[in-house]
Structure 1
Amino acid sequence: MRYFLDAEFNGFGGGLVAIAAVPEGDEVAPFYEAVECPEPNPWVTANVLPVLLTKQRPLAEVAHMFSSYLAADTDPVLIADWPEDIGHAVALLTNGRGGRLVGCAVRFEILGTSDFASESRSEVPHNAYYDAVALRDWVVSNEHC
C-alpha cells in the first residue's frame, strides 16, 4: 500500500519533531506521532509545537511504533515530496545502534518538483498528519487528471 509521508524537524538537518504516514485508502489507520524536542529552534517553537495535537514521546518509542506500523503491511511504499522526510523515516527503522527494527521490505519514492505546497493546501500547516493528508489528496487528484 502507498503511504504519504510528512515529517516536521528541528530546522533543516535537525532532529525529528513529528512524523505521519497516511495510507492511500481508509482500510488502515494513519500513523502520526511526535518526538520529544528538548531544544526547539524559534521557528519550530512558533509554528510546529503549537499544532502538534499529540503527546511527544521518546525517539526510541516512536521508532518502535513506526516500525511496527509498517511491518503490518507486506509491501509498504512511502511517498514524500521532500527528501529529508524520507531520511527521518529511514532513521526510524533502526534502533540507532546499527540494528534494524523492521523486517519487511519498505520502498520509498520522492516526488519530483511540483506546485504542491503544504502551507497552502494543509488544513493545519506544519502538522505532519495534516500535511501528509494534503499531500495524499494532491497526488491522488493529480493522478486522475
Structure 2
Amino acid sequence: MLYALDCEFNGFGGELISLALSGEAGELYLCRPNAELDGLELHPWVEEHVLAILEVHDARPRVLPLTEFGRAIQTFLEDDPEPCVIADWPEDLTHLMQCLIISPGQMVRIPDLSLKLMQVSAWPTDIHDAVQHNALWDARALSRALALSRGEV
C-alpha cells in the first residue's frame, strides 16, 4: 500500500520533531515529548509555525521519545507485506530512515519497504480545514495530491 510521509523538523537539517504517515491502511502521527523538545535550541520559525500546531483538530499525535518512533513505525507497517512510502522532500525520507535504526548495526523489523521521492505540490489543498506545517495534515494533503495526480479522485 501507499503511504504519504511528512516530517516536521527544527529548521533545515534540524532534529526531527514530528512524523506522519497517511494512507489507505490508516494513519500514524508521532511527536516527541515536550521534555525532549525543550532541550532543543528551536528555530524561531519552527516555534511559531510548527510547535504551535502539533495538536490541532483531527490531528492528535501519539507522544513518544524519539528513540521509540522506530518501534511505532514497525507496528504500523507490520501487516502490510509491501509498503511504499512517498515523500515530496528528501529530508522526510532521511528522518524516516533514521527512525528505523535502533542501535549500531540494528534496525526495527519491517516488511520490504519501498521509498519514492516525487515532485508533487501538496499545497494548496482542497481538504477542508487542513493545517499546513502540521505533519499529519501535510501527509494527508500529499496523499490527496498524489491521488489527484493519478486521476483517482
Query: TM-score, normalised to structure 2's length?
Result: 0.83
1:67-86 alignment to 2 at 5 Å?
67-86=74-93
CA displacement at 1:29 relative to structure 2: 2.1
Residue equivalent to 1:41: 43
Alignment deviations for residues 30-52 of structure 1 (CA, whole Å, 9 cap, x no partner)? 01111242312211111101111
SS of the aligned residue for 1:95 comes to strand
Of 144, 149, 152, 1:142 maps to: 149
> Greater CA deviation, 12-21 or 35-44?
35-44
Would you say how many aligned residue pairs link Structure 1 and Structure 2?
Answer: 139
Tell me if 1:11 matches 2:18: no
Q: Match of 2:138?
A: 131
| Map of 1:32 onto structure 2 | 29
Aligned to 1:60: 67
Match of 2:2 in 1: 2
2:79 aligned partner, one-letter code:
A
Choose which of 62, 79, 93 in structure 1 pairs with 2:100. 93
Using the TM superposition, give the Cα deviation of residue 102 of structure 1 relative to its aligned residue in structure 2, in angstroms.
2.0
1:67–1:92 CA contact under 8 A, matched in 2: no
Tell me the C-alpha RMSD between the 2 structures: 1.7
Runs of 5+ consecutive residues of structure 1 not aligned to the other structure: none
Shift of 1:98: 2.5
- Is contact 2:78–2:110 with CA below 8 Å preserved after alignment? yes
- Within 2, Cα distance between the matches of 1:144 and 1:47? 32
Displacement after TM superposition at 1:96 (Å): 3.9
